[in-house]
Amino acid sequence: MGDSVSIAIRGGQVLLEGLERCDLYLEDGRIADIDGVGEASLTLDATGLLVLPGLVDCHGDAFERHIMPRPRVAFDIDLALRDADRALLANGITTAFHGVTWSWEPGLRGAENARALAEAIARLQPELGADTRFHLRHETFNLEAEPQILAWLAQGRIAVLAFNDHTEGTLKARHRPDKIGKMVERTGLTTEAFMALVETVYARKSEVEGSITRLAAAARAAGVTMFSHDDMTPEMRASYRSLGVAVAEFPIDEATAREAAAHGEAIVFGAPNVVRGGSHTGCPSAEEMVRAGLCTILASDYYYPALALAPFLLARSGAASFAEAWALVSHAPAQALGLHDRGVIAPGKRADLVLVEEGPQPRIVATIAGGRLVHLADQRLLG
Protein backbone atom coordinates (compact mmCIF):
# COMPACT_ATOMS: atom_id res chain seq x y z
CA MET A 1 0.00 0.00 0.00
CA GLY A 2 2.76 2.41 -0.87
CA ASP A 3 6.19 3.41 0.33
CA SER A 4 7.17 4.03 3.94
CA VAL A 5 5.54 7.18 5.33
CA SER A 6 5.25 8.62 8.81
CA ILE A 7 2.45 6.85 10.68
CA ALA A 8 0.85 7.69 14.01
CA ILE A 9 -0.98 4.89 15.82
CA ARG A 10 -3.22 6.32 18.49
CA GLY A 11 -5.32 4.88 21.30
CA GLY A 12 -4.21 1.25 21.20
CA GLN A 13 -3.11 -1.14 23.92
CA VAL A 14 0.58 -1.50 23.01
CA LEU A 15 2.62 -4.54 24.04
CA LEU A 16 5.73 -3.21 25.77
CA GLU A 17 6.68 -5.14 28.93
CA GLY A 18 2.94 -5.64 29.26
CA LEU A 19 -0.05 -4.09 27.52
CA GLU A 20 -0.07 -0.30 27.97
CA ARG A 21 -2.33 2.39 26.55
CA CYS A 22 -0.02 4.63 24.51
CA ASP A 23 0.57 6.07 21.05
CA LEU A 24 3.30 5.20 18.56
CA TYR A 25 5.04 7.25 15.89
CA LEU A 26 6.68 5.48 12.94
CA GLU A 27 9.09 7.13 10.52
CA ASP A 28 11.57 5.88 7.90
CA GLY A 29 10.56 2.29 8.53
CA ARG A 30 11.37 2.46 12.26
CA ILE A 31 9.57 3.05 15.52
CA ALA A 32 10.56 6.65 16.13
CA ASP A 33 8.77 7.45 19.38
CA ILE A 34 6.40 6.12 22.02
CA ASP A 35 3.80 8.60 23.32
CA GLY A 36 5.59 11.69 21.99
CA VAL A 37 3.60 11.57 18.75
CA GLY A 38 3.49 14.54 16.41
CA GLU A 39 1.90 15.11 13.02
CA ALA A 40 2.09 12.17 10.64
CA SER A 41 1.29 11.48 7.01
CA LEU A 42 -1.13 8.78 8.11
CA THR A 43 -2.95 8.35 11.42
CA LEU A 44 -4.52 5.07 12.51
CA ASP A 45 -7.11 5.01 15.28
CA ALA A 46 -6.31 1.86 17.25
CA THR A 47 -8.87 2.46 19.99
CA GLY A 48 -10.05 -0.91 21.28
CA LEU A 49 -7.24 -2.75 19.52
CA LEU A 50 -4.02 -4.44 20.59
CA VAL A 51 -0.83 -3.16 18.96
CA LEU A 52 1.68 -6.01 18.89
CA PRO A 53 5.08 -6.77 17.36
CA GLY A 54 4.80 -8.34 13.92
CA LEU A 55 5.03 -12.11 13.76
CA VAL A 56 8.39 -13.69 12.88
CA ASP A 57 7.76 -17.09 11.30
CA CYS A 58 10.94 -19.16 11.34
CA HIS A 59 9.41 -22.11 9.46
CA GLY A 60 6.34 -22.00 7.26
CA ASP A 61 5.69 -24.26 4.30
CA ALA A 62 2.02 -23.45 3.65
CA PHE A 63 3.23 -21.63 0.53
CA GLU A 64 3.57 -25.09 -1.05
CA ARG A 65 -0.22 -25.23 -1.32
CA HIS A 66 -0.12 -21.99 -3.32
CA ILE A 67 2.22 -23.73 -5.78
CA MET A 68 0.48 -27.11 -5.84
CA PRO A 69 -3.06 -26.80 -4.41
CA ARG A 70 -3.85 -30.32 -5.63
CA PRO A 71 -1.54 -33.25 -6.29
CA ARG A 72 0.11 -32.84 -9.73
CA VAL A 73 -1.61 -29.46 -10.27
CA ALA A 74 1.12 -26.79 -10.17
CA PHE A 75 1.08 -23.03 -10.76
CA ASP A 76 3.72 -20.45 -11.62
CA ILE A 77 6.07 -19.89 -8.67
CA ASP A 78 6.02 -16.08 -8.88
CA LEU A 79 2.22 -16.08 -8.84
CA ALA A 80 2.21 -18.50 -5.91
CA LEU A 81 4.72 -16.51 -3.85
CA ARG A 82 2.82 -13.25 -4.38
CA ASP A 83 -0.39 -14.96 -3.29
CA ALA A 84 1.36 -16.49 -0.26
CA ASP A 85 2.65 -13.02 0.65
CA ARG A 86 -0.91 -11.70 0.84
CA ALA A 87 -1.83 -14.62 3.10
CA LEU A 88 1.17 -13.94 5.35
CA LEU A 89 0.30 -10.27 5.78
CA ALA A 90 -3.38 -10.96 6.44
CA ASN A 91 -2.21 -13.22 9.27
CA GLY A 92 0.16 -10.64 10.77
CA ILE A 93 3.38 -12.33 9.62
CA THR A 94 5.89 -9.59 8.81
CA THR A 95 9.03 -11.76 8.61
CA ALA A 96 8.68 -15.10 6.84
CA PHE A 97 11.19 -17.89 6.39
CA HIS A 98 9.78 -20.04 3.61
CA GLY A 99 10.64 -23.64 4.50
CA VAL A 100 11.71 -25.00 1.12
CA THR A 101 12.31 -28.74 1.23
CA TRP A 102 14.91 -30.06 -1.20
CA SER A 103 14.66 -33.81 -1.23
CA TRP A 104 15.95 -36.64 -3.39
CA GLU A 105 12.39 -37.07 -4.64
CA PRO A 106 11.21 -35.43 -7.88
CA GLY A 107 8.30 -33.00 -8.14
CA LEU A 108 7.28 -30.37 -5.60
CA ARG A 109 10.28 -31.04 -3.34
CA GLY A 110 12.76 -31.88 -6.06
CA ALA A 111 15.87 -30.11 -7.36
CA GLU A 112 14.19 -28.10 -10.10
CA ASN A 113 11.61 -26.65 -7.74
CA ALA A 114 14.18 -25.88 -5.01
CA ARG A 115 16.37 -23.97 -7.45
CA ALA A 116 13.38 -22.11 -8.88
CA LEU A 117 12.19 -21.12 -5.39
CA ALA A 118 15.64 -19.94 -4.30
CA GLU A 119 15.84 -17.73 -7.37
CA ALA A 120 12.26 -16.48 -7.11
CA ILE A 121 12.48 -15.58 -3.40
CA ALA A 122 15.66 -13.57 -4.02
CA ARG A 123 14.18 -11.82 -7.07
CA LEU A 124 10.78 -11.02 -5.55
CA GLN A 125 12.01 -9.91 -2.10
CA PRO A 126 11.89 -6.17 -2.89
CA GLU A 127 8.23 -6.24 -3.91
CA LEU A 128 6.86 -8.57 -1.23
CA GLY A 129 5.21 -7.04 1.82
CA ALA A 130 6.70 -9.49 4.31
CA ASP A 131 10.46 -9.68 4.75
CA THR A 132 10.71 -13.05 3.02
CA ARG A 133 13.75 -15.31 3.33
CA PHE A 134 14.92 -18.74 2.20
CA HIS A 135 14.88 -21.51 4.83
CA LEU A 136 16.38 -24.55 3.16
CA ARG A 137 15.09 -27.83 4.58
CA HIS A 138 17.83 -30.15 3.39
CA GLU A 139 17.00 -33.84 3.28
CA THR A 140 20.28 -35.29 4.48
CA PHE A 141 20.13 -38.30 2.12
CA ASN A 142 19.95 -35.88 -0.83
CA LEU A 143 23.69 -36.14 -1.39
CA GLU A 144 23.54 -34.80 -4.93
CA ALA A 145 22.44 -31.41 -3.56
CA GLU A 146 25.61 -30.76 -1.54
CA PRO A 147 27.59 -28.78 -4.17
CA GLN A 148 24.66 -26.47 -4.86
CA ILE A 149 23.99 -25.89 -1.16
CA LEU A 150 27.65 -25.09 -0.54
CA ALA A 151 27.50 -22.53 -3.36
CA TRP A 152 24.30 -20.99 -2.00
CA LEU A 153 25.83 -20.69 1.47
CA ALA A 154 28.87 -18.91 0.02
CA GLN A 155 26.58 -16.58 -1.97
CA GLY A 156 24.43 -15.65 1.04
CA ARG A 157 21.29 -17.18 -0.51
CA ILE A 158 20.32 -19.27 2.54
CA ALA A 159 18.96 -17.63 5.70
CA VAL A 160 18.37 -20.89 7.63
CA LEU A 161 19.75 -24.36 6.91
CA ALA A 162 17.75 -27.17 8.48
CA PHE A 163 18.84 -30.80 8.50
CA ASN A 164 15.93 -33.18 7.87
CA ASP A 165 15.76 -36.93 7.47
CA HIS A 166 12.49 -38.42 6.29
CA THR A 167 14.21 -41.19 4.34
CA GLU A 168 14.46 -43.76 7.11
CA GLY A 169 10.86 -43.13 8.17
CA THR A 170 9.70 -43.53 4.57
CA LEU A 171 11.55 -46.82 4.30
CA LYS A 172 9.95 -48.10 7.49
CA ALA A 173 6.50 -47.08 6.22
CA ARG A 174 6.91 -48.65 2.76
CA HIS A 175 4.16 -51.20 3.50
CA ARG A 176 1.78 -48.47 4.75
CA PRO A 177 0.05 -46.80 1.77
CA ASP A 178 -1.69 -44.39 4.15
CA LYS A 179 1.71 -43.14 5.33
CA ILE A 180 3.48 -42.71 1.99
CA GLY A 181 0.51 -41.87 -0.24
CA LYS A 182 0.95 -38.10 -0.02
CA MET A 183 4.67 -38.33 -0.80
CA VAL A 184 4.03 -40.52 -3.81
CA GLU A 185 1.31 -38.19 -5.11
CA ARG A 186 3.49 -35.08 -5.08
CA THR A 187 6.33 -36.85 -6.95
CA GLY A 188 4.23 -37.98 -9.90
CA LEU A 189 5.80 -41.45 -9.66
CA THR A 190 4.07 -44.80 -9.30
CA THR A 191 4.29 -46.36 -5.85
CA GLU A 192 6.64 -49.02 -7.18
CA ALA A 193 8.98 -46.48 -8.79
CA PHE A 194 8.93 -44.32 -5.68
CA MET A 195 9.89 -47.16 -3.36
CA ALA A 196 12.64 -48.29 -5.73
CA LEU A 197 14.02 -44.75 -5.55
CA VAL A 198 13.90 -44.83 -1.74
CA GLU A 199 15.94 -48.05 -1.71
CA THR A 200 18.53 -46.55 -4.07
CA VAL A 201 18.87 -43.41 -1.99
CA TYR A 202 19.12 -45.33 1.28
CA ALA A 203 21.94 -47.49 -0.08
CA ARG A 204 24.24 -44.46 0.28
CA LYS A 205 23.62 -44.09 4.01
CA SER A 206 27.33 -44.34 4.83
CA GLU A 207 27.97 -41.05 3.00
CA VAL A 208 25.39 -38.98 4.86
CA GLU A 209 27.34 -38.16 8.03
CA GLY A 210 30.27 -36.73 6.12
CA SER A 211 27.97 -34.57 4.00
CA ILE A 212 26.22 -33.16 7.08
CA THR A 213 29.59 -32.32 8.64
CA ARG A 214 30.79 -30.46 5.53
CA LEU A 215 27.55 -28.52 5.14
CA ALA A 216 27.48 -27.55 8.83
CA ALA A 217 31.05 -26.27 8.60
CA ALA A 218 30.16 -24.17 5.57
CA ALA A 219 27.06 -22.78 7.30
CA ARG A 220 29.10 -21.85 10.39
CA ALA A 221 31.64 -20.06 8.19
CA ALA A 222 28.82 -18.16 6.46
CA GLY A 223 27.14 -17.23 9.76
CA VAL A 224 23.93 -19.06 8.80
CA THR A 225 21.61 -20.27 11.58
CA MET A 226 21.12 -24.04 11.52
CA PHE A 227 18.16 -26.13 12.71
CA SER A 228 17.97 -29.86 13.30
CA HIS A 229 14.50 -31.14 12.47
CA ASP A 230 12.73 -33.92 14.38
CA ASP A 231 15.64 -34.81 16.66
CA MET A 232 14.84 -38.35 17.73
CA THR A 233 16.96 -38.67 20.87
CA PRO A 234 19.01 -36.55 23.28
CA GLU A 235 22.10 -38.09 21.67
CA MET A 236 21.03 -36.86 18.23
CA ARG A 237 20.54 -33.35 19.61
CA ALA A 238 23.99 -33.48 21.21
CA SER A 239 25.51 -34.65 17.93
CA TYR A 240 24.02 -31.76 16.02
CA ARG A 241 25.09 -29.36 18.77
CA SER A 242 28.69 -30.48 18.24
CA LEU A 243 28.36 -29.25 14.65
CA GLY A 244 27.08 -25.82 15.69
CA VAL A 245 23.40 -26.56 15.07
CA ALA A 246 21.90 -24.48 17.85
CA VAL A 247 18.13 -24.74 17.23
CA ALA A 248 16.09 -27.88 17.92
CA GLU A 249 13.08 -27.88 15.63
CA PHE A 250 10.20 -30.19 16.62
CA PRO A 251 12.13 -32.56 18.94
CA ILE A 252 10.34 -35.87 18.88
CA ASP A 253 9.97 -36.33 22.65
CA GLU A 254 10.29 -34.50 25.95
CA ALA A 255 13.68 -36.00 26.84
CA THR A 256 15.16 -34.58 23.64
CA ALA A 257 13.61 -31.19 24.30
CA ARG A 258 15.09 -31.24 27.80
CA GLU A 259 18.52 -31.94 26.35
CA ALA A 260 18.21 -28.79 24.25
CA ALA A 261 16.85 -26.74 27.14
CA ALA A 262 19.70 -27.84 29.42
CA HIS A 263 22.10 -26.17 27.00
CA GLY A 264 20.06 -22.99 26.59
CA GLU A 265 19.11 -23.76 23.00
CA ALA A 266 16.09 -22.48 21.13
CA ILE A 267 13.33 -25.09 20.81
CA VAL A 268 10.69 -24.81 18.08
CA PHE A 269 7.24 -26.36 18.08
CA GLY A 270 4.31 -25.78 15.77
CA ALA A 271 1.56 -23.26 16.41
CA PRO A 272 -0.98 -25.62 14.77
CA ASN A 273 -0.14 -28.06 17.58
CA VAL A 274 -1.37 -25.44 20.09
CA VAL A 275 -4.48 -24.54 18.09
CA ARG A 276 -5.51 -28.17 17.51
CA GLY A 277 -4.83 -29.16 21.12
CA GLY A 278 -1.98 -31.52 20.29
CA SER A 279 0.26 -32.96 17.63
CA HIS A 280 -1.26 -34.76 14.65
CA THR A 281 1.80 -37.05 14.52
CA GLY A 282 1.95 -38.12 18.16
CA CYS A 283 4.75 -35.73 19.13
CA PRO A 284 4.73 -33.70 22.37
CA SER A 285 1.93 -31.25 23.07
CA ALA A 286 3.23 -27.76 22.32
CA GLU A 287 1.13 -26.28 25.13
CA GLU A 288 2.62 -28.71 27.63
CA MET A 289 6.10 -27.92 26.33
CA VAL A 290 5.43 -24.19 26.85
CA ARG A 291 4.25 -24.86 30.41
CA ALA A 292 7.41 -26.86 31.09
CA GLY A 293 9.71 -24.23 29.61
CA LEU A 294 10.63 -26.62 26.79
CA CYS A 295 9.28 -24.54 23.90
CA THR A 296 10.86 -21.15 23.20
CA ILE A 297 9.56 -20.53 19.66
CA LEU A 298 6.36 -21.28 17.78
CA ALA A 299 6.28 -21.56 13.98
CA SER A 300 3.33 -21.57 11.58
CA ASP A 301 4.58 -24.90 10.17
CA TYR A 302 1.86 -25.78 7.66
CA TYR A 303 -0.91 -23.27 8.61
CA TYR A 304 -0.35 -19.51 8.70
CA PRO A 305 -3.45 -18.52 10.77
CA ALA A 306 -2.28 -20.63 13.72
CA LEU A 307 0.68 -18.38 14.48
CA ALA A 308 -1.32 -15.35 15.65
CA LEU A 309 -4.01 -17.41 17.39
CA ALA A 310 -1.71 -19.67 19.44
CA PRO A 311 -0.46 -16.99 21.89
CA PHE A 312 -4.03 -16.00 22.77
CA LEU A 313 -4.92 -19.63 23.46
CA LEU A 314 -1.80 -20.13 25.60
CA ALA A 315 -2.64 -17.03 27.64
CA ARG A 316 -6.27 -18.09 28.10
CA SER A 317 -5.23 -21.55 29.31
CA GLY A 318 -2.69 -20.11 31.75
CA ALA A 319 0.25 -21.79 30.02
CA ALA A 320 1.99 -18.39 29.83
CA SER A 321 1.25 -14.73 30.29
CA PHE A 322 0.16 -12.96 27.12
CA ALA A 323 3.48 -11.12 26.87
CA GLU A 324 5.39 -14.39 27.26
CA ALA A 325 3.17 -16.13 24.73
CA TRP A 326 3.51 -13.36 22.13
CA ALA A 327 7.30 -13.43 22.56
CA LEU A 328 7.22 -17.02 21.28
CA VAL A 329 6.13 -15.71 17.87
CA SER A 330 8.02 -12.42 17.76
CA HIS A 331 11.00 -11.65 20.00
CA ALA A 332 12.26 -15.22 20.54
CA PRO A 333 12.42 -16.26 16.87
CA ALA A 334 13.94 -12.90 15.93
CA GLN A 335 16.71 -13.41 18.50
CA ALA A 336 17.37 -17.01 17.48
CA LEU A 337 17.70 -15.93 13.85
CA GLY A 338 19.99 -12.99 14.61
CA LEU A 339 17.35 -10.39 13.68
CA HIS A 340 17.96 -8.04 16.58
CA ASP A 341 16.20 -5.13 14.87
CA ARG A 342 12.69 -6.54 15.34
CA GLY A 343 10.38 -8.63 17.51
CA VAL A 344 9.72 -5.94 20.14
CA ILE A 345 8.15 -2.49 20.20
CA ALA A 346 10.87 -0.02 21.13
CA PRO A 347 12.36 3.18 19.66
CA GLY A 348 14.76 2.44 16.83
CA LYS A 349 13.38 -1.01 16.08
CA ARG A 350 11.98 -1.95 12.69
CA ALA A 351 8.34 -0.88 12.40
CA ASP A 352 6.77 -4.32 12.10
CA LEU A 353 3.42 -4.21 13.85
CA VAL A 354 0.08 -5.95 13.86
CA LEU A 355 -3.20 -4.42 15.10
CA VAL A 356 -5.54 -7.03 16.52
CA GLU A 357 -9.16 -7.00 17.61
CA GLU A 358 -9.65 -9.43 20.48
CA GLY A 359 -12.37 -12.05 20.36
CA PRO A 360 -12.86 -15.82 20.46
CA GLN A 361 -10.75 -15.84 17.30
CA PRO A 362 -8.72 -12.61 17.30
CA ARG A 363 -8.94 -10.66 14.05
CA ILE A 364 -5.95 -9.10 12.30
CA VAL A 365 -7.20 -5.61 11.47
CA ALA A 366 -3.98 -4.12 10.07
CA THR A 367 -0.39 -5.12 9.42
CA ILE A 368 2.56 -2.75 9.13
CA ALA A 369 5.83 -4.12 7.77
CA GLY A 370 8.97 -2.03 7.60
CA GLY A 371 6.91 1.10 8.26
CA ARG A 372 4.46 0.43 5.40
CA LEU A 373 0.76 -0.28 5.82
CA VAL A 374 0.61 -3.55 3.89
CA HIS A 375 -2.71 -4.95 5.07
CA LEU A 376 -5.89 -3.15 6.15
CA ALA A 377 -9.08 -5.03 6.92
CA ASP A 378 -11.10 -2.19 8.45
CA GLN A 379 -11.11 1.31 6.98
CA ARG A 380 -12.51 2.71 10.24
CA LEU A 381 -8.91 2.84 11.46
CA LEU A 382 -8.37 5.70 9.03
CA GLY A 383 -10.85 7.90 10.90
Range with lowest mean pLDDT among 159-163, 178-182, 283-287: 178-182
Handedness of CA 63, 66, 71, 72 (dihedral sign): negative
- Enumerate the β-bridge partners of residue 56: 95
- C-beta separation of 344 from 1 below 8 A: no
- Mean pLDDT of the 305-317 span: 98
Residues in the chain: 383
pLDDT of 198 > 90? The answer is: no
- The CATH class, in words, for 53-336 is alpha beta
pLDDT of 122 > 70? The answer is: yes
Domain borders along the chain are 7-52+344-382, 53-336
Task: Give the pLDDT confidence score for residue 187 in this predicted structure.
Answer: 82
Task: Give the pLDDT confidence score for residue 1 in this predicted structure.
Answer: 42
User: ∠278-86-8 over CA atoms, to 5°?
Assistant: 100
Task: Give the pLDDT confidence score for residue 169 in this predicted structure.
Answer: 76
Task: Give the pLDDT confidence score for residue 376 in this predicted structure.
Answer: 98
- The closest of 54, 33, 56 to 352, measured between CA atoms, is 54
pLDDT of 356 > 80? The answer is: yes
Task: Give the pLDDT confidence score for residue 102 in this predicted structure.
Answer: 97
Mark out the alpha helices in 277-375 (DSSP H runs): 286-291, 305-317, 322-327, 331-336
- Indicate if 53-336 has the same CATH topology as 7-52+344-382: no
Task: Give the pLDDT confidence score for residue 325 in this predicted structure.
Answer: 98
Q: What is the mean pLDDT of the chain?
A: 94
- Mean pLDDT of the 40-60 span: 97
- Enumerate the β-bridge partners of residue 134: 98
- C-beta separation of 6 from 351 below 8 A: no
- Mean pLDDT of the 131-160 span: 97
Task: Give the pLDDT confidence score for residue 183 in this predicted structure.
Answer: 77
pLDDT digits (tens, 9 = 90+) for 82-111: 999 999 999 999 999 999 999 999 888 999
Q: What are phi and psi of 367, to 5 degrees?
A: -130, 130
CATH number at 7-52+344-382: 2.30.40.10
- C-beta separation of 228 from 165 below 8 A: no
Q: How confident is the model at residue 29 (pLDDT cuts 50, 70, 90)?
A: very high
pLDDT of 184 > 90? The answer is: no
260 versus 166: the higher-pLDDT residue is: 260
pLDDT of 3 > 70? The answer is: no
Q: How confident is the model at residue 167 (pLDDT cuts 50, 70, 90)?
A: confident
